[in-house]
Chains A and B, each alone.
Chain A
């Protein structure tokens, strides 16, 4: 290799490194300026940089998987509506179209062209979850997308630096939280600006006029690396099927996973058809979570970009719940979509059992609430919040599952003290739920028990979107199932896992998040670990004795 080529290679590697830093800064800016609590406290966002062909070159580590791969697709849609030759400095484009964005109206996607010396060099895109966009609210009750809130087609948010005031007025008028929502739109736009500025600095420093060579390098290297990982796997097709609660009837997710020389393809033929309610999943979101699951097993440390995503493909027949067409209702698409890594794992388990965990809770157990506040709302709605919480993850082949931890979602839990600052609710309990981790040689992660009451003399609305109540995570190789989720009043009445319900003052809402499933026979579990679990109260004495066949030392005599 000649000298200049050598330096060229080193510089390309360094610029790649820099690109990842640039989008990470973009994401951090978004997180720090967001109003929506699920973004600022929990990181429900994503950010990335794209070349002029719409290929994603880098994605921020901060963020959540469902947004990432679907945002990657959305940039291509932006390019169709706003061809690059029409882009001007100071422009920014917006949509929340679930089929061109990230799967539901709450996610605003904003794309900003990046200019250097008057020449368009790249696109920055970001997305985050806005708390309220009107309609029926952030729950699964709608029967079509039009009921789910304000639908923003592909529009200019900024035209050469000038904000689209008409659109902003429309947004403000169509949300229960006008100030926060408007603020979030600004914060999305600002983070792209920050990314663009850094990219231009990098190009100045390295003296490059376009990202073409860098983009080709990043994409080619990433694709090769993923293909090299795939080459190590046996070839063939494996099947799996998993049933989850659905809205009013169970949903069966069927997958055929094919590993070939050219990649891994997952096909969802045979999956249940669309739901009447808002748990339908647009195709981009199906792809996002399926590919994320594959990535975790096959290409853990390869950065996400168009190249690394390319060998991982997904298909689902139109009209099934995983390729729901417009205008089906999609607000709570995450409930089904986040199950997809588990579905893919069920196939991969037959291929590389040592790398794949047991089934887990998988879908977020967000407690979506809204209601009136004390002392009047001044013409506004009151409060509304998605309080993020989680169940347990599935046992790993060599380790227990993680308790009260989000997977596959990348969001963080909402601190109780923050939830109580933002809402008039009072949490009486939020702690581990003993015995909810599926028993096994390695144990599933535990779920949580929460008790929530209105802190004022007003009822509040629960927009339930929970799953794994009827169909818990299934144990593997003799391991036990994870504990099933429960939604109920403390006074006894069981509530629905999905849909709007009113929680009257004085009633305590009990939420028991599911546990992850176990792997292997419980009696094979290391006795010290059983003793520790018992001492820590993670399992009951009864479970220790009956399920783990554990005899405390003194009883053994």
Chain B
């Protein structure tokens, strides 16, 4: 019998979050991360939380684990001693990259440093053409000679990335055979397995990232497995992937690059669960922490996904300044807008916020730890939406004068505003940054943002959600409980799944249903095999997708394929589906243009546990507020006394009207005057726009 007790752990940069669920019971814990041996905090956390629950390791049925270890290894360049083997003549794909500058006007930019230096990038005579035909046979002797060199150089892990290997992986596979025969302990990553997609730079970069983190992740996962076994744990271990699915440890060890960004993915799943419980089929996940805000679209309780991600951006949040990794990811926009983001005036005396962050040390000026520059949190303190006496459960006493001083010096004075107006300008600008990111993100997906419900979590989001909602025309905002450990909570709701993407060119006017079906079936078998160890007999379903575009265009649109063998008769329906989506995205479709399919994806997944839409919570006036605070409103230029509620004292069904503040230890929710709020059956604060 599978035990019902499940534990999720999210290792973040600062905190390791642990969540235990059993039936309807949920317990959470937060510990400091132990960077040298991350499993220590994990095991300690699990031990503590099992103690809280009065259970032992043997009672745990499922252990779900998300970690930023892979990402951090890349950012801190702490990965394995890695080499790249490329096609002769293509040693510098990683450095040549896309030959561009991520900032047009800045003459002093630095490009991202490749994970493998040139000295450790080797080439082998071989060449396939765009159809996968051998133009130059693989020089096997050269591979054997190279094996000796790799050994001499102490290389632990190798990525093999040949031209057009996504069409024909034969040469890459043969290289692995030879290397494994010569060097059985060597880790070998093939680009044709990690990322069988066209465009050599992204594919090579992905393969190298996988190779780079593989030994480290493998030893970490092995240690974790051993340690859990020693504690008599007999349940199943899952790892969370960037695509928001769970995967068995075996698959994670093969494709560790798929584990980057699992934390944020957990946040998006958390939001999707909140949306499902509230019956909100269109939701916008809005997670604002100390340094960044992340925004993700959720349609029909599924977060949107993408296929490209950048790790370690040299210039924060600037597209193109990081190392590309082409894997299925939950699509998120991340901008430098957190509570610690610093505000200042630029050369044009415009108020700007972020991406620089005051971090935890020295932190915003109001922390009184020597921070001189005003952060978003300082603006909130000056405006009055944060209670300086009860910040972080009263553990940090905030210095309101320091906040006022910083705002005055760096923002208000230079443009002739009062301190309060200066704070309001910061508040408006950071809200606009987030609104703008949400708006653009929605538009890129052909969605209309004001039809969405905002789900706000993380320390900063509840303070800004109302204003962001006003700006993007959103009618409803939900602030769920347990927002501080949202990612770990989300992990427990993730399905076991794996998505494979493969490039294979096919024109729609020469659609070969049989060949397509054959390939999709093969991908399906492969994905099913990768999911099987994790699914453990649970029923799975499959989603097949073609990435299509007009012949000659560069941007592909995802079109869902029917779950059956394809025939030439499907052409018309595929064209119609494509043109419909194209019209939604880009206004006009193009008459007469032919359509082509570039890539195909098969995702195999268990059914995710979607919560039932909850019932009503009744309706009663909220208990008396615990106090009142003066809050400054820039629009009217007035300071108003606003009632303050304690969240834990608001039972489900409580109804109150903005302006109001709902305070809790981790954050405060600001309900602006344009919203009415109530507490729903699961403890969420739900704000609805008042009728105009």
Closest to B428 in A: A10
Contact partner of A16 among B127, B350, B594, CB < 8 A?
B350
Is B142 at the interface (CB under 8 A from chain A)? no
On whether A61 and B200 interact (CB within 8 A), knowing A7-B634, A416-B163, A455-B129, the answer reads no
Closest to B165 in A: A417
Q: How far is the CB of B20 from chain A (nearest CB, A)?
A: 43
Complex Cα–Cα for A41 and B552 (A): 11
Q: Which of B326-368 contact A (CB under 8 A)?
A: 346-351
Is B37 at the interface (CB under 8 A from chain A)? no
- The answer to whether B350 touches A13 (Cβ under 8 A) is yes
On whether A297 and B590 interact (CB within 8 A), knowing A6-B637, A17-B432, A428-B89, the answer reads no
Among A116-124, A178-186, A256-264, A542-550, the stretch that binds chain B is A178-186
Complex Cα–Cα for A14 and B200 (A): 40
Closest to A415 in B: B199
The 8 A CB mask of B109-130 against A (1 = contact, 0 = none) is 1110000011100000001011
Is A282 at the interface (CB under 8 A from chain B)? no
B592 surroundings in chain A (CB, below 8 A): 179, 182
Is A47 at the interface (CB under 8 A from chain B)? no
- The answer to whether B105 touches A300 (Cβ under 8 A) is yes
Complex Cα–Cα for A430 and B164 (A): 15
Q: How many residues of A contact B (CB 8 A)?
A: 94
- The answer to whether A390 touches B421 (Cβ under 8 A) is no
- The answer to whether B593 touches A183 (Cβ under 8 A) is yes
Q: How far is the CB of B119 from chain A (nearest CB, A)?
A: 5
- Pick from A6, A35, A302 the residue with the most CB of B within 10 Å: A6
- The answer to whether B100 touches A412 (Cβ under 8 A) is yes
- The answer to whether A13 touches B351 (Cβ under 8 A) is yes
Is A388 at the interface (CB under 8 A from chain B)? yes
- The answer to whether A430 touches B96 (Cβ under 8 A) is yes
B25 surroundings in chain A (CB, below 8 A): none
- The answer to whether A17 touches B130 (Cβ under 8 A) is no
The 8 A CB mask of A534-553 against B (1 = contact, 0 = none) is 01111000000000000000
- The answer to whether A426 touches B586 (Cβ under 8 A) is no
Is A240 at the interface (CB under 8 A from chain B)? no
Q: Which of A77-134 contact B (CB under 8 A)?
A: none
Complex Cα–Cα for A13 and B411 (A): 13
Q: How far is the CB of A356 from chain B (nearest CB, A)?
A: 8
On whether A205 and B552 interact (CB within 8 A), knowing A1-B417, A6-B417, the answer reads no
Closest to B557 in A: A32
Among B225-233, B437-445, B565-573, the stretch that binds chain A is B437-445
- The answer to whether A417 touches B101 (Cβ under 8 A) is no
Is A427 at the interface (CB under 8 A from chain B)? yes
B351 surroundings in chain A (CB, below 8 A): 10, 13
Contact partner of B634 among A6, A189, A357, CB < 8 A?
A6
- The answer to whether A420 touches B129 (Cβ under 8 A) is yes
Contact partner of A28 among B96, B101, B444, CB < 8 A?
B444
- The answer to whether A411 touches B100 (Cβ under 8 A) is yes
Q: Which of B57-98 contact A (CB under 8 A)?
A: 88-92, 95-98
Complex Cα–Cα for A182 and B589 (A): 12
Q: How far is the CB of A376 from chain B (nearest CB, A)?
A: 15
Closest to B439 in A: A21
The 8 A CB mask of A272-301 against B (1 = contact, 0 = none) is 000000000000000000000001110111
Closest to A399 in B: B108
Closest to B99 in A: A413
B587 surroundings in chain A (CB, below 8 A): 190, 193-194
On whether A420 and B436 interact (CB within 8 A), knowing A357-B107, A405-B100, A413-B98, the answer reads no
On whether A410 and B100 interact (CB within 8 A), knowing A1-B417, A6-B637, A13-B425, the answer reads yes
Contact partner of A418 among B198, B440, B590, CB < 8 A?
B198
- The answer to whether A179 touches B594 (Cβ under 8 A) is yes
Is B564 at the interface (CB under 8 A from chain A)? no
- The answer to whether B104 touches A65 (Cβ under 8 A) is yes
Q: How far is the CB of A30 from chain B (nearest CB, A)?
A: 10
A193 surroundings in chain B (CB, below 8 A): 587-588
On whether A451 and B89 interact (CB within 8 A), knowing A6-B637, A179-B593, A410-B104, the answer reads yes
- The answer to whether A536 touches B101 (Cβ under 8 A) is no
Among A221-229, A470-478, A521-529, the stretch that binds chain B is A221-229
Complex Cα–Cα for A255 and B359 (A): 48
- The answer to whether A431 touches B91 (Cβ under 8 A) is yes
Is B553 at the interface (CB under 8 A from chain A)? yes
Is B309 at the interface (CB under 8 A from chain A)? no
Complex Cα–Cα for A37 and B106 (A): 26
A403 surroundings in chain B (CB, below 8 A): 95-96
The 8 A CB mask of B399-431 against A (1 = contact, 0 = none) is 000000000000000011110010011001100
On whether A3 and B552 interact (CB within 8 A), knowing A399-B110, A418-B198, A420-B129, the answer reads no
Q: How far is the CB of B277 from chain A (nearest CB, A)?
A: 31
A355 surroundings in chain B (CB, below 8 A): 107
- The answer to whether B199 touches A418 (Cβ under 8 A) is yes
- Pick from A41, A357, A417 the residue with the most CB of B within 10 Å: A417
Q: How far is the CB of A46 from chain B (nearest CB, A)?
A: 11
Closest to B130 in A: A420
- The answer to whether A3 touches B130 (Cβ under 8 A) is no
- The answer to whether A6 touches B101 (Cβ under 8 A) is no
Q: How far is the CB of A395 from chain B (nearest CB, A)?
A: 11
Closest to A15 in B: B432
Complex Cα–Cα for A412 and B555 (A): 15
Q: How far is the CB of A259 from chain B (nearest CB, A)?
A: 18
Complex Cα–Cα for A194 and B163 (A): 38
Contact partner of B99 among A7, A34, A388, A426, CB < 8 A?
A388
- The answer to whether A405 touches B118 (Cβ under 8 A) is no
Is A40 at the interface (CB under 8 A from chain B)? yes
B198 surroundings in chain A (CB, below 8 A): 415, 417-418, 421
The 8 A CB mask of A1-44 against B (1 = contact, 0 = none) is 10110110110011011100100110011011111110011010
Q: How far is the CB of A436 from chain B (nearest CB, A)?
A: 12
A4 surroundings in chain B (CB, below 8 A): 637
- The answer to whether B555 touches A33 (Cβ under 8 A) is yes
Is B391 at the interface (CB under 8 A from chain A)? no
Q: Which of B573-604 contact A (CB under 8 A)?
A: 585-588, 590, 592-594
Complex Cα–Cα for A389 and B346 (A): 35
Is B554 at the interface (CB under 8 A from chain A)? yes
On whether A221 and B415 interact (CB within 8 A), knowing A41-B554, A179-B552, A420-B129, the answer reads no
Q: How far is the CB of B433 from chain A (nearest CB, A)?
A: 8
Q: How far is the CB of A449 from chain B (nearest CB, A)?
A: 8
Q: How far is the CB of B635 from chain A (nearest CB, A)?
A: 6
A538 surroundings in chain B (CB, below 8 A): 118
- The answer to whether B164 touches A417 (Cβ under 8 A) is yes
Instruction: Enumerate the 8 nearest inter-chain pairs by beta-carbon distance, A residue then B residue, closest first.
Output: A40-B554, A413-B99, A429-B89, A3-B637, A32-B555, A536-B118, A35-B552, A412-B100
Extra pairs beyond A6-B417, A301-B106, A357-B107 (19, CB < 8 Å)? A1-B417, A7-B634, A10-B421, A31-B554, A35-B552, A183-B553, A183-B593, A296-B107, A300-B105, A301-B347, A396-B108, A402-B109, A405-B99, A412-B99, A415-B98, A415-B198, A421-B198, A430-B89, A432-B118
Residues in chain A within 8 A of chain B (CB atoms): 1, 3-4, 6-7, 9-10, 13-14, 16-18, 21, 24-25, 28-29, 31-37, 40-41, 43, 61, 65, 179-180, 182-183, 186-187, 189-190, 193-194, 198, 205, 221-222, 224-225, 228-229, 295-297, 299-303, 355-357, 388-390, 396, 398-399, 402-407, 410-413, 415-418, 420-421, 426-432, 448, 451, 455, 535-538
Q: List 23 A-B contacts (CB under 8 A).
A: A6-B634, A28-B444, A32-B553, A40-B554, A65-B104, A183-B553, A186-B590, A187-B586, A193-B587, A300-B105, A300-B107, A398-B108, A403-B96, A410-B101, A411-B100, A413-B96, A420-B130, A421-B505, A426-B129, A431-B96, A432-B91, A448-B96, A451-B89
Residues in chain B within 8 A of chain A (CB atoms): 88-92, 95-101, 104-111, 117-119, 127, 129-130, 135, 163-164, 198-201, 346-351, 415-418, 421, 424-425, 428-429, 432-433, 436, 439-440, 443-444, 471, 473, 505, 550-555, 585-588, 590, 592-594, 634-635, 637
